[in-house]
Structure 1
């Protein structure tokens, strides 16, 4: 009996001794358990990321519609200012640039000229964004999200926006896109972050 026991490794169990399987070392099973725990944590956080993305993106169709209304209003206001300045300059025999040059001299004129230049540039930017987004469906707007870069319009739209459960096909499609995007993003970030720890295990 002693000779048989002397050559085999043992593990202690409640009430008995049992020989260990040399093909499955203890540290391997511990490492596998830790790896599985990490994988489960990543899957859970990825699911949370996917759900968060779905909730956020499902609101995009209605939010973008309200943003478009504010964009159109701001564009119209600046269009009136721009057209009025150009007509006044033309009546005096000047182009826009020539009229701006004539406005220099006093601090008041310099400030007014600078403000008009800001208005002209903003109108061009808003007009380009409105032209690109006008008549597009919500999914098409999602592909042109860089046109939603007027921070003051975004803030005012968000302040008055009230999230709601999506009931349209566009809202459900955007929710699906948000879920997949959020799930992939969180999975990739956590996978890259946890890779060094996996190697140690």
Structure 2
């Protein structure tokens, strides 16, 4: 029984260390995708903004004007302008939140503030490596140790009482 207990300890601690070491790299890859998506969204919004300025209107006014059009294609363009402005705002908030977070909080920030499509695309292209991040490896090893302790804990078992010596 001790052999299995030691084996699970080793597997869970090493697995946790290696698994958690992947987190900073995944976050970094997401941040790179986020930066690219934000840059492209701003570029596209800039085109709409240039059109609005050519008409002597703020961007929001151009979007509303287009949306009120009787032509469905033009009205659809108005919705695209509004959606693009919202996307730029959302991606900017995400980038600022991730940029302002410490390295250990970035994964939690990413869980709370992410673009679902960017996250899925990052995960689809992510490749595991054996790069070990010391801080996250230590955290992963600790989680592995805790999981091992929970796995082998016997419910209702009392702590061993020391034998009294006479």
Query: TM (normalized to structure 2)?
Result: 0.71
Structure of larger gyration radius = 1
CA-CA distance at 1:90 after TM superposition: 2.2
CA-CA distance at 1:186 after TM superposition: 7.8
Q: 1:180 and 2:139 equivalent?
A: no
CA-CA distance at 1:61 after TM superposition: 1.7
CA-CA distance at 1:96 after TM superposition: 2.1
**1:164-198 per-position Cα deviation (integer Å, ceiling 9, x unaligned):** 1124xxx121122123345546867997xx86xx4
Q: 1:77 and 2:45 equivalent?
A: no
Matched pairs, number? 154
Which of 128, 140, 152 is residue 163 of structure 1 equivalent to?
Answer: 128
Mean CA deviation greater in 132-141 or 122-131: 132-141
CA-CA distance at 1:135 after TM superposition: 7.6
Cα-Cα RMSD? 3.3
Q: 1:42 to 1:91 in 2, by over 3 A?
A: farther
Residues 65 and 78 of structure 2 are in contact (CA less than 8 Å); yes or no, is this contact kept in structure 1?
A: no
Which of 41, 51, 57 is residue 20 of structure 2 equivalent to?
Answer: 57
CA-CA distance at 1:87 after TM superposition: 2.5
Question: 1:16 — aligned with what?
Answer: none
Structure 1: segments with no counterpart, 5+ residues: 1-36
CA distance in structure 1 between the aligned counterparts of 2:97 and 2:83, rounded to whole angstroms: 21
Residues 15 and 141 of structure 2 are in contact (CA less than 8 Å); yes or no, is this contact kept in structure 1?
A: yes
Structure 2: segments with no counterpart, 5+ residues: 158-166
Q: 1:146 to 1:137 in 2, by over 3 A?
A: same
Q: 1:77 to 1:183 in 2, by over 3 A?
A: same
Query: TM (normalized to structure 1)?
Result: 0.60
